Structure 1
Amino acid sequence: MKRLMATERVSGRGLEAPSGAARMSRDVRWNLGSLAIVGIGGILLNLLIADQYGEAALGVFNQVFAAYIFFSQFAAGGVHLSALRAVAQAHSDAGRRVAVSAAVALTAFLSILFTAGFYFSRVPIAWALASPDVATGMAWASLGLFCFAVNKTLFGVINGRRQMRLYAVAQALRTVLMLATLLVLIYIGAASERVPVVFTIAEIAIFVILTIATAGDSAAKWDGRWRVWIRRHFRFGVRSAGSGIMLELNTRVDVLMLGLMKSDAVVGLYSFAAMLVEGIAQLPIVARTNVNPLLAKHLKTRDLAALAPIVSKTRKLTFLAMLAVGVIAVAAYPIGVRLVTNREVFFDSWPIFAILMGGLVASAAWIPLNQILLQGGRPATHTVMSLIIVIANIAMNAALIPAFGAIGAAFATAAAFLISAVLVRWLAWQCLEVRV
């Protein structure tokens, strides 16, 4: 890991590194490898919880996770997106260091505030979900939330410098640490409501690693430039944080609304299928991670001629890859479930999985490009777009869950995928004159 950090710091400055398509191809390969580990680890995490603790415990875990992700967006405050953009567009090492230091300091401050909010709201949230174990789980995850928010900004710095090998290794390590912690909990016979401590253990370790990796990007002296960058990050964050909150809420609307209307067991059954779809959805997000710095660079210079082939190739390859993966995944799902668990109840999740996968595949081509408004300096518009998607998702879930339960949530979420794709395509042209 130490050697990789050193190598990435060199290549991040453009020395002895492949350029253009070769570098992007290498970065994508590293992140696909990381994705494989994250995906398999995430699946194993949920499968182990389901197998060792049951579907109700899995439902509790995913409700805690939904609250955790929602609060993390406020804690990060959109600063990670500002840091990514600032680093990708930096003209000097000195300017980059000040921008990074200010971003980390601001994120830490926000994270303290919203981690406290997460901890002290655990009882009313558990009451609303009619699940006392959710409160216990949130308490065990609280320290992890603080580190997670700061880590988002540090990952943004690494992403902006296109240190994608380090990015990939750290992302994979997070999942490995969560899985290892769960295995220890199972071994010692820990209660199911304590399982969310896996977030805390993993995020503390990643925080230490990323802090060391980005140490060279910190400014030792506090001066007026810090204040300028803190204000700049805060303004950008305020305009863009709403979009992050909305997008993350959008991925948890189904679980949270099922939790409000149905039992923990129903939530567990649904989340068993949904977590597999979420893992597969990381494929186009790998492409987004690698294409974001290029979008920021070419949109700043308005070099649309250079941007067009990047957009076209990304969209085409992502759709074809996701179509193949989707068909295979839906066909193999019953076999896979039979191999990993003997709990018959989980076989009922196949229709849920198929519906969600259909929505994901249909919208996949635009997922790598769904932050184009942010990279083009239009965070407020991105936030409005995200708000529209979430409102539509909430409305559809509210309409369908009472009558159709988990199947209704799946149809509502799949439809939200499609609405997102349509809005990204339309707003990219209207606001940036870029055809996606």
Structure 2
Amino acid sequence: MQVKKTFEFLQKFNANSGTWVFAATLFNKLILFVIKLGILFYFEKAVYGQITYAVSIVAFFTPFVGLGSPSGLLRYGSIVKSAQEKKEISHYVFTQGLGFSLMMAVLLLPIVWFFAKDNATTYLFLAILCFRVVSLFLFNYQSVEMRIQDLNKRFAQFDLVNSLLLLAGALVLTLLFNAIGYILSLVLVPIFVFILYAIKFGWPQWRKKISDNISLKSFWAYSVWASFSNVLTETVFIVDTILIGLLMSDTAVAEYNVAGLIPINILILPIIFMKTDFPQIARNFKNRNFLKNYYQQFFILFLIVCTAGMLIAYFLGDWILSFFGKDYEPYSIFIILMLGASISILFRIPLTNMISAFGKTRFNTITGFITILADIGLNLYAIPRYGLIGAAWATTSALILSGLLSLIYFFYYLKKETI
């Protein structure tokens, strides 16, 4: 009986062009993985550590792109019924979000200096990456605009094009300009892809007023809380990297980053489902039976996936890590981070996304803040005493706390706010 339900769950996912999204997202992660491997072997360990550190610092700010307006567009664009209202919200978000992103890029330039550790090269990387907030806004906006129209197939193709051009751009620019070229590719490629699709499917229009049926206050409250929630969500996965960079060395950052390559990348599996089904979840945010059944089937499916992943990591981890070279064989760290990834897949990622679809981003922000405080405290305690192993356990413990809090709220929401 359960096998039949799981099969039906996968059939619905496929009917929503989920297979296209799965293939495109998996291909994107594969491309990013290949690029990371390329720069890992192309640059010496210290330079690779500088690149990873700079990307991690700017990643802390990227959830604020457009002041969270792409998140607002995703939810409110999903629940409005008419195509005209979707267009009005979409054009409003483009106008306001682009302005906020440009302003943010300029304001970040002096801020990132404090993270450069008096290193001119690191600051140059950070300064260029500040403008990634603009390119990511354009990319996220265009992605969401397709998703709210249920054009998941086009969205998947858009992601495929971006992946291929990112690979080509990273290769060419790295060969021409070394590390600076790689950093430039992260900024320029999303802008180029946005222009290509805007030419083919139409440019966004300027609009200073949101749809009459949407409360401006509610929209921006949701968007801003989503920004804080997203930044806290992303920060959990970079706190350890930043603190290792500050308390240890660039080579330690490189080793830890390699141990986390596979655990971090498998997180894309549940995200694929959330990307595909978020509009549907948002439209059913008061339907108790739908929400309960959706999470139950999701949990069973990914429990199988996570169990298989942990077994592979435990028995084949040493062999897998050997492909990264003799300088990168952190087996114990790899196993611990795989455990943390499994916790995120089963609880944290699906539930925080579902809670966001309910319109409860404030709760995600609160739990995210609690998780970050725990993550920072545990890392500050563990890194000086236990090194990279301590960082891995600290992050995994924080992820367990986050998943538990989200699970408790999910059941509270089903009982109190659904019918």
CA 1:187–1:222 in structure 2 vs 1: closer, same or farther (change >3 Å)? Answer: closer
Q: Does 1:24 align with 2:10?
A: no
CA 1:88–1:177 in structure 2 vs 1: closer, same or farther (change >3 Å)? Answer: same
* Residue-by-residue CA offset, 1:85-124 (whole Å, 9 max, x unaligned): 1121111111111111111112111101111122333322
CA distance in 2, matches of 1:412, 1:60: 23
CA distance in 2, matches of 1:251, 1:360: 10
Q: Does 1:65 align with 2:46?
A: no
CA distance in 2, matches of 1:99, 1:208: 20
SS in 2 for 1:315: helix
CA distance in 1, matches of 2:137, 2:201: 16
Aligned to 1:40: 30
Matches within 5 A, 1:193-342: 193-212=180-199, 215=202, 218=204, 225=211, 231-299=217-285, 302-339=286-323, 341=324
Query: Shift of residue 133 of structure 1?
Result: 2.3
CA distance in 2, matches of 1:224, 1:321: 42
Matches within 5 A, 1:75-90: 75-90=65-80
Matches within 5 A, 1:122-137: 122-127=112-117, 131-137=119-125
CA distance in 2, matches of 1:46, 1:245: 23
CA distance in 2, matches of 1:173, 1:126: 33
Q: Is the 8 A contact 2:139 2:191 kept in 1?
A: no
Q: Does 1:52 align with 2:9?
A: no
Query: Shift of residue 396 of structure 1?
Result: 0.9
RMSD of the alignment, in Å? 2.6
CA 1:363–1:278 in structure 2 vs 1: closer, same or farther (change >3 Å)? Answer: closer
Q: Does 1:389 align with 2:378?
A: no
Matched residue type, 2:296: S
CA 1:72–1:332 in structure 2 vs 1: closer, same or farther (change >3 Å)? Answer: same
* Residue-by-residue CA offset, 1:54-92 (whole Å, 9 max, x unaligned): 222221111111122222122232211110111211111
Aligned residues: 408
Matches within 5 A, 1:144-155: 144-155=132-143
* Residue-by-residue CA offset, 1:305-350 (whole Å, 9 max, x unaligned): 23322221111112211221332245434333434x4x42112x22
SS in 2 for 1:346: coil
CA distance in 2, matches of 1:145, 1:294: 28
Aligned to 1:420: 402
Tell me whether 45-54 or 321-330 shows the greater mean CA deviation: 321-330
Aligned to 1:372: 354
CA distance in 1, matches of 2:159, 2:314: 26
CA 1:409–1:284 in structure 2 vs 1: closer, same or farther (change >3 Å)? Answer: same
CA distance in 2, matches of 1:392, 1:427: 19
Q: Is the 8 A contact 2:24 2:156 kept in 1?
A: yes
Aligned to 1:179: 167
CA distance in 2, matches of 1:433, 1:228: 27
CA distance in 2, matches of 1:246, 1:354: 24
CA distance in 2, matches of 1:290, 1:326: 26
SS in 1 for 2:61: helix
Q: Is the 8 A contact 1:240 1:380 kept in 2?
A: yes
* Residue-by-residue CA offset, 1:255-304 (whole Å, 9 max, x unaligned): 111111111110011111212211111111112212322221111xx221
Structure 1: gaps of 5 or more residues: 1-18
Aligned to 2:85: 95
Matches within 5 A, 1:350-365: 350-365=331-346
Aligned to 1:345: 327
Q: Is the 8 A contact 1:140 1:194 kept in 2?
A: no
Tell me whether 321-330 or 396-405 shows the greater mean CA deviation: 321-330
Matched residue type, 1:274: G
CA distance in 2, matches of 1:95, 1:327: 49
* Residue-by-residue CA offset, 1:148-201 (whole Å, 9 max, x unaligned): 02322332222223322222233343333332223223433x333543112112
Aligned to 2:5: none
Structure 2: gaps of 5 or more residues: 1-7
Query: Shift of residue 142 of structure 1?
Result: 3.3
Aligned to 2:4: none
Tell me whether 164-173 or 366-375 shows the greater mean CA deviation: 164-173
Q: Does 1:141 align with 2:129?
A: yes
TM-score normalized with structure 1 length: 0.86
Q: Does 1:192 align with 2:182?
A: no
CA 1:362–1:231 in structure 2 vs 1: closer, same or farther (change >3 Å)? Answer: closer
SS in 1 for 2:80: coil
Tell me whether 88-97 or 357-366 shows the greater mean CA deviation: 357-366
